Chains A and B, each alone.
Chain A
Amino acid sequence: MSSPDEDPPTEPERWRDLDMLLSRPGNLVHADFNPSPGLRDSLGSLVEVLVVGAGGLGCELLKDLALSGFKNIHVIDMDTIDVSNLNRQFLFRVQDVGKSKAEVAAKRVMERVSGVNIVPHFCRIEDKEIEFYSQFSIIVLGLDSIEARSYINSVACGFLEYDSDDKPIPETLKPMVDGGTEGFKGHARVIIPGTTPCFECNIWLFPPQVKFPLCTLAETPRTAAHCIEYAHLIKWNEALKRAELFGISGVTYSFTQGVVKNIIPAIASTNAIVSAACALEALKLISGCSKTVSNYLTLETLNMVLFEVHYFSLTICRYNGLDGTHINVSEFAREKDCLVCGPGTLIELGTSTTLSEFIKMLEEHPKLLMSRASVTHEGDNLYMQAPEVLEQMTRPNLGVPMFELLKGAARTTVHVTGMAENNGKKVSSLRKLRVTFKGVEESSKMDESS
């Protein structure tokens, strides 16, 4: 196959506008930007993008990315369509209620934008093997939960490897663009693991959910929210009665839904703005490369360019539509010892330590405190807690020394998933560990290349 560079660009008339940006040199571009008429086609054929979430942001993102030259897109969402989505999730119609968001969204965008291929995944993000995520050059997040962001962040950061000087290895970088909205406000940020702060480095940016003290709910309720939360906890049909008893007004159906389900207000315009900002950043990150990416093998080097891209990289851009000022760009610093995007927690094992002893160590390790851990190494499942078939298949490994399972490597990276504390809650988490063995020399490493 000849390189896209030698072929005339496809559909030049259709992509006239986008090509102005991609085919011409400029002074305010990234140093590695290599404009060419074929750049759009290379981008389309070589880059795979994952969109996480097919809701308010996801629908917009799929449209924006498809019209920014991306042709291979995957979208993952476990949700089905609800009537209350229709005021902003513009790819869905009343007759789609109940169907998979990912599947309907992918179909609608493919119907309207010819040439784009979108693969839907109607499942939870945790249901996918970690390796599934490794195929993507960039991951764009349109989520409304901190837990899900945290999970994808840990997966993307998990791929990152550091060299012996603790410098991130460019080929292992998996950048993310994260968007979020609430009412008239929103944010967009670019996360380049190991270079810019990861989601976990500044998790404090997301305030914890309001929780009322139990004694207030039981003894001294004062607001409608207190009565509803009480009913939600104790007994639903007591909510109204309780409010009456204490002379509290404001217990309405709509308000109840808001309190119980913690509903975040959402509108079309804010989603559109934040998604557009994310898609534009994705386009800028990826199109920093051109000619050097001429075949599939060098796909990994795409990330090398990303590593150096300066646009936007250390910043969070916050959009506030309430008042005059609209975008604030703030800079945040990386957390050096971040468990997620750092080089990984160091664990030293004896050469005879078995896999089951290792799993036990994770439960007691003060920094990890991880229970029910599943362990993978370079894509191989060493032990899986679920599903049952995999558990049975990997169970014999439990008694085998780690040193043997890790093919005699003196120092290597292992991924573990399990339940760990996050923001005071036990949630499904992924952690990267650097395993070394006592008394084993670095030189005895068997496969340096992998």
Chain B
Amino acid sequence: MAAATAAAFAEPKTKYDRQLRIWGDQGQAALEKASICLLTCGPTGTEAMKNLVLGGVGSVTVVDGSKVEQSDMGNNFLLDAECLGQSRAKSVCSFLQELNDAVNAKFVEESPLALIDTNPSFFSQFTVVIATQLPERSLLKLDDICRKANIVLVAARSYGLTGLVRISVKEHNVIESKPDHFLDDLRLHNPWVELKQFAKSIDINDKDPVVHKHTPYIVILVRLAEKWADAHDGRLPSTRQEKNEFKALIREHMLNLDEENYKEAVESSYKVSVTPGISDEIRQIIDDSSAEVNSSSSDFWVLVAALKEFIANEGNGELPLEGTIPDMTSLTEYYVSLQKIYQAKAESDCLALEHHVKDILKRIDRDPDSISRAYIKTFCKNARKLRVCRYRSMEEEFSSPVLSEVQKYFTDEDYCFAMNFYVLLRAVDRLAANYNRFPGIFESEIDEDVPRLKTAAVSVMSEMGMNGAPLSEDLITEMCRFGGAEIHPVAAFIGGVASQEVIKLVTKQFVPLLGTFIFNGIDHKSQVLAL
């Protein structure tokens, strides 16, 4: 019995092993708490849901008012011949449930358009709403509903060989942005007392070859930077020539040419010349008006306010130390000691920040213990990598796009293509609203639809203030050829991107798309338009 329970308990860990390696237990816990709603059960939407259900989101609700038709058999893997004539929502829901029994799968057999019009409060129960294949008019309405209720909206659309994904939420804050490459936080330009003392305790001129070639480069650089500064009025190498001279100084201390630690020191020598203080991105965040907190501020902004105080006080213009060091050639003993010195400084920085957090919470009449220590620790560890993502409402984007960006896009070949798709995707909706069908659905009317679509596209452009921007005749014809088709591989691609974004938004890890993602399946390229 006990063994059976253990196996049942262990299974999710094993099942999710490959993804836990990316977003960790906390990311997984966030996914398992999330409740996702899908509007329209075409292949774009169902493929997105399939990926999320496999990953183990808490619950999914699929909304669709139509019945399964023959055409679903040609592009939707989640529907098979047995579902013909039945509710699309119900059939999709039962397949999703089969994929992962840990997920709570529900369905609502109702037209998404009707639901948006008649029951806006329906959406407030979800973490994220994924709206697929919705016409512009309904999407605008839904965007308004979701923004008011602070629900994340992800809009996805596949259309022939093109498609788009767009996120809409007032603000999304990321602590664990997990960039691919980021400079190690070593403070070699400004070592603190304990680090300096440790570096001094090691004789870098020790003639014992084993000790000499196992002195970690952090120690070498701290010592030699000090030596350099003594000879240069307290300055560190900054010009190209000085940096080369500094490298030469390091090489002078080598006993042998094959000393890996010295090679590492030369390669890392630029780390003593980093600009002190904080980056422009972080400066922008701490100077944001949201950092002036009040009782309704989010935990994130309370922490930013505390960060600002830390920088002005204990930090001496620097952020809290990250506290980890990269692997480097070293005696185990030296390396472990260094690790501890960095950890200790990081912990004391974190403690200082925690004091500011408590003070601020008291000031704004909140429980001083309402933000957990673990959260503060993660925040400190990632203080250099914070990201604030703000999205304009679709209404704002549609009526007044950032014209400077638009003009820039039209001067670049690939972006110009993407802009054309963007305009045409909106124009087909205009046409569909007038004629009750997408252009090019009927072969016999393609020739008439081409000029109609062009007229609609021109009017979309002029409303956006883009008079006279180049429209590609070839793309207009191509859009009519597509006839609103949802091709499976394109739908799987767009749905895949949408699910990827949902994961980033729900786990609050990594940086989500900051604009409208346009897929160009003709050349297999994609652009992100910040409009």
Binding site for B on A (CB under 8 A): 11, 13-18, 20-21, 24-28, 60, 63-64, 67-68, 83-84, 86-88, 90, 93, 111-114, 183-184, 216, 220-223, 246-248, 254, 257-258, 263-270, 272-273, 275-277, 279-281, 283, 311-312, 315, 317, 321-327, 329
Q: Are A17 and B17 in contact (CB under 8 A)?
A: no
Q: Are B500 and A84 in contact (CB under 8 A)?
A: no
User: Considering the chains assembled together, what is the distance between the CA atoms of A21 and B510 in angstroms?
Assistant: 36
User: Considering the chains assembled together, what is the distance between the CA atoms of A24 and B517 in angstroms?
Assistant: 27
Residues of B within 8 A of A321 (CB): 497, 500, 504, 510
A–B complex contacts, Cβ < 8 Å, 12 sampled: A17-B71, A21-B161, A68-B489, A184-B22, A247-B332, A267-B51, A269-B503, A273-B497, A276-B496, A311-B523, A321-B504, A322-B510
Q: Are B336 and A67 in contact (CB under 8 A)?
A: no
Q: Which of B160, B328, B500 has the most CB of A within 10 A?
A: B500
**Contact partner, B483, options A11, A20, A258, A317, Cβ 8 Å:** A20
Residues of B within 8 A of A28 (CB): 474-475, 478, 522
Q: Are A183 and B22 in contact (CB under 8 A)?
A: yes
User: Considering the chains assembled together, what is the distance between the CA atoms of A258 and B18 in angstroms?
Assistant: 9
| Residues A222 and B511 in contact in the complex (CB < 8 Å), given A254-B17, A268-B50, A275-B492 | no
**Contact partner, B77, options A13, A24, A113, A281, Cβ 8 Å:** A113
Residues of A within 8 A of B365 (CB): none
Q: Are B493 and A277 in contact (CB under 8 A)?
A: yes
Q: Are B74 and A26 in contact (CB under 8 A)?
A: no
Residues of A within 8 A of B77 (CB): 63, 67, 112-113
| Residues A276 and B493 in contact in the complex (CB < 8 Å), given A18-B74, A84-B17, A269-B499 | yes
| Residues A84 and B15 in contact in the complex (CB < 8 Å), given A67-B77, A324-B514 | yes
The interface size of chain B toward A, counting residues with CB under 8 Å, comes to: 85
Supplied contacts A67-B77, A265-B18, 20 more A-B pairs, CB within 8 Å:
A11-B70, A14-B73, A18-B485, A27-B474, A28-B522, A64-B488, A67-B43, A67-B488, A88-B51, A113-B73, A183-B21, A222-B336, A263-B17, A264-B18, A276-B489, A279-B488, A279-B489, A311-B524, A321-B500, A321-B504
Q: Are B521 and A270 in contact (CB under 8 A)?
A: no
| Residues A20 and B18 in contact in the complex (CB < 8 Å), given A111-B80, A324-B515 | no
A150 to chain B: closest CB distance in Å?
24
User: Considering the chains assembled together, what is the distance between the CA atoms of A303 and B332 in angstroms?
Assistant: 59
Residues of B within 8 A of A277 (CB): 489, 493, 524
**Contact partner, B485, options A20, A68, A90, Cβ 8 Å:** A20
B111 within 8 A of A: no
**Contact partner, A14, options B22, B74, B514, B523, Cβ 8 Å:** B74
Residues of A within 8 A of B51 (CB): 88, 267-269, 272
User: Considering the chains assembled together, what is the distance between the CA atoms of A266 and B472 in angstroms?
Assistant: 39
User: Considering the chains assembled together, what is the distance between the CA atoms of A246 and B335 in angstroms?
Assistant: 10
Q: Are A88 and B18 in contact (CB under 8 A)?
A: yes
Q: Are A326 and B56 in contact (CB under 8 A)?
A: no
Q: Are A322 and B486 in contact (CB under 8 A)?
A: no
B465 to chain A: closest CB distance in Å?
25
B172 within 8 A of A: no
Binding site for A on B (CB under 8 A): 11, 13-22, 43, 47, 50-52, 54-56, 69-71, 73-77, 80-81, 98-100, 160-161, 178-180, 214, 327-332, 335-336, 440, 443, 446, 473-475, 477-478, 481-483, 485-490, 492-493, 495-497, 499-500, 503-504, 510-511, 513-515, 517, 521-526, 528
Task: Give the nearest-CB partner of B50 in chain A.
Answer: A90
A23 to chain B: closest CB distance in Å?
8
Task: Give the nearest-CB partner of A26 in chain B.
Answer: B481
Q: Are A312 and B524 in contact (CB under 8 A)?
A: yes
Residues of A within 8 A of B22 (CB): 183-184, 265, 267
Give 3 closest A-B pairs by Cβ, nearest first.
Answer: A272-B496, A273-B496, A67-B488
Residues of A within 8 A of B475 (CB): 28
Q: Are B330 and A222 in contact (CB under 8 A)?
A: yes
User: Considering the chains assembled together, what is the distance between the CA atoms of A111 and B77 in angstroms?
Assistant: 11
**Contact partner, A266, options B18, B75, B330, B446, Cβ 8 Å:** B18
Task: Give the nearest-CB partner of A40 in chain B.
Answer: B74
**Contact partner, A327, options B21, B69, B504, B525, Cβ 8 Å:** B525
Q: Are A317 and B524 in contact (CB under 8 A)?
A: yes
**Contact partner, B492, options A220, A270, A276, Cβ 8 Å:** A276
**Contact partner, A67, options B19, B74, B330, B528, Cβ 8 Å:** B74
**Contact partner, B19, options A21, A63, A266, A273, Cβ 8 Å:** A266
| Residues A327 and B510 in contact in the complex (CB < 8 Å), given A16-B71, A20-B481, A28-B474 | no
**Contact partner, B524, options A86, A93, A263, A329, Cβ 8 Å:** A329
Residues of B within 8 A of A64 (CB): 488-489, 492
B9 to chain A: closest CB distance in Å?
13
User: Considering the chains assembled together, what is the distance between the CA atoms of A315 and B414 in angstroms?
Assistant: 15
B340 to chain A: closest CB distance in Å?
9
**Contact partner, B160, options A20, A184, A247, A279, Cβ 8 Å:** A20
Residues of A within 8 A of B514 (CB): 324
Residues of B within 8 A of A17 (CB): 71, 74-75, 485-488
User: Considering the chains assembled together, what is the distance between the CA atoms of A313 and B367 in angstroms?
Assistant: 61
Q: Are B523 and A324 in contact (CB under 8 A)?
A: no
Residues of A within 8 A of B52 (CB): 268
Task: Give the nearest-CB partner of A67 in chain B.
Answer: B488
User: Considering the chains assembled together, what is the distance between the CA atoms of A143 and B55 in angstroms?
Assistant: 21
B153 to chain A: closest CB distance in Å?
18
A188 to chain B: closest CB distance in Å?
8
**Contact partner, B18, options A21, A111, A114, A267, Cβ 8 Å:** A267
Residues of B within 8 A of A267 (CB): 18-19, 22, 51, 55, 503
User: Considering the chains assembled together, what is the distance between the CA atoms of A25 and B447 in angstroms?
Assistant: 12
Residues of B within 8 A of A324 (CB): 511, 513-515, 528
User: Considering the chains assembled together, what is the distance between the CA atoms of A142 and B412 in angstroms?
Assistant: 34
